[in-house]
Structure 1
């Protein structure tokens, strides 16, 4: 039974999604929602993210929607380092700020500004140790940033009971096709 679920995946730039209202985002959010609803049936209490642009902030928006039906569901935003958003554009900063305001818990793992990739590795390990499951938007055909968390999770699973749930582009294609069928 997963009480705490971490969520991560691709950033918008890795997907070529540069508009916040791109239709693909709604299908990504639907995939996240379906996974979270399964976990909610099993007693999910917390979702944790590191606040990265893309999958993680979209997941936060899904959590906020689900909180309307499940007020007990909580969101933790735990960044790898301080001020990760300082070089983002205004639109991305606004989205990040809205997630910060809505989160039930906010903290930073290293308590310092960005120093190097080690902070991301530390964040990946922290997330695996502090959660029961990981929902990861990752496809083996398109590696990108999620590859590192995926590989760390695979190693972690060798010695720990851990629920790793991936969804990729094929899963999104099925969701698109289902929604098109629903329209007819």
Structure 2
């Protein structure tokens, strides 16, 4: 399953300690757990901060419960994180060391948008479904992945699950209800 979605800045998340991170990870974990119970073995993500990195962290945290579940970080091109701040690079390096597999689709540094289209094609051709954190009323970078997945699904058997704002709001409500119940115990 390919998992992608908004970047951190699109979610107004600028620190890992932001409470939204815990909520989003909980929602992702619930969605991935359901798929893992149905036999999901591999989750593929890119390396973007935000939903992709959160997903990689979530899958790594699920290893005890689902030892057969693996995560691959497939980067669109080499030197992917070269323009990031040092703190983000360090976090990224740690995460790369935790995933089950990490590689680049293009061995060259970024040269053109075609590398990103090739990466989308790779992700689609190497997965059976996509989990996309995206809402059409709040467009952002994931719009291009959503469009590519929908176009691919027109000619291939490909399942697309979209976590939209309603799902996120319901998931956040459930998260805080569970948290309040646990705090009362």
Give the TM-score category using the shorter length: over 0.9
Question: Following TM superposition, by how much is the alpha carbon of 1:104 offset from its aligned partner in structure 2, in angstroms?
Answer: 1.4
The aligned residue for residue 149 of structure 2 is 153
After TM superposition, the structure 1 = structure 2 runs for residues 91-106 of structure 1, keeping only pairs within 5 Å, are 91-106=87-102
Contact 1:82–1:108 (Cα < 8 Å) also in 2: yes
8 A Cα contact 1:6 1:131, kept in partner: yes
Name the SS for the 2:17 alignment partner. Answer: coil
Aligned residue pairs total 180
Partner of residue 7 from structure 1, selected from 3, 7, 14: 3
Question: Contact conserved, 1:64 with 1:102, CA < 8 A, in 2?
Answer: yes
Q: TM-score, normalising length from structure 1? A: 0.93
Answer yes or no: is the 8 Å Cα contact 2:28–2:55 preserved in 1: yes
* Structure 1 pair 106–174 and aligned structure 2 pair: CA distance change class (3 A): same
Using structure 2 for the length normalisation, give the TM-score. 0.93
Moved runs in structure 1, 4+ residues, more than 6 A?
A: none
In the alignment, the residues of structure 2 paired with residue 132 and residue 48 of structure 1 have an alpha-carbon distance, to the nearest angstrom, of 11
Question: Matched residue of 1:128: which SS?
Answer: helix
The match for 1:129 is 125
* CA deviation map 1:50-104 (0-9, x unaligned): 1111110000110011112112111111110001111111221122111110121
Unaligned runs of 5+ in 2: none
Residue of structure 1 equivalent to 2:33: 37
Alignment gaps of 5+ in structure 1:
none
Quote how far apart the aligned CAs of 1:121 are. Answer: 1.1
Contact 1:31 1:167 in 2 (8 A): no
**Contact 2:23–2:175, Cα closer than 8 Å, also in 1:** no
1:71 maps to 67
1:89 aligns with 2:80: no
Q: Which deviates more from structure 2 when the two are superposed, residues 144-153 or residues 161-170? A: 161-170
2: CA distance, partners of 1:179 / 1:82: 37
Are 1:153 and 1:164, in contact at CA under 8 Å, matched by a contact in 2?
yes
- C-alpha distance in structure 1 between counterparts of 2:52 and 2:15, whole Å: 16
- Deviation readout 1:3-58 (Å, 9 max, x if unpaired): xx111101011121111111111111112111111111111111111111111000
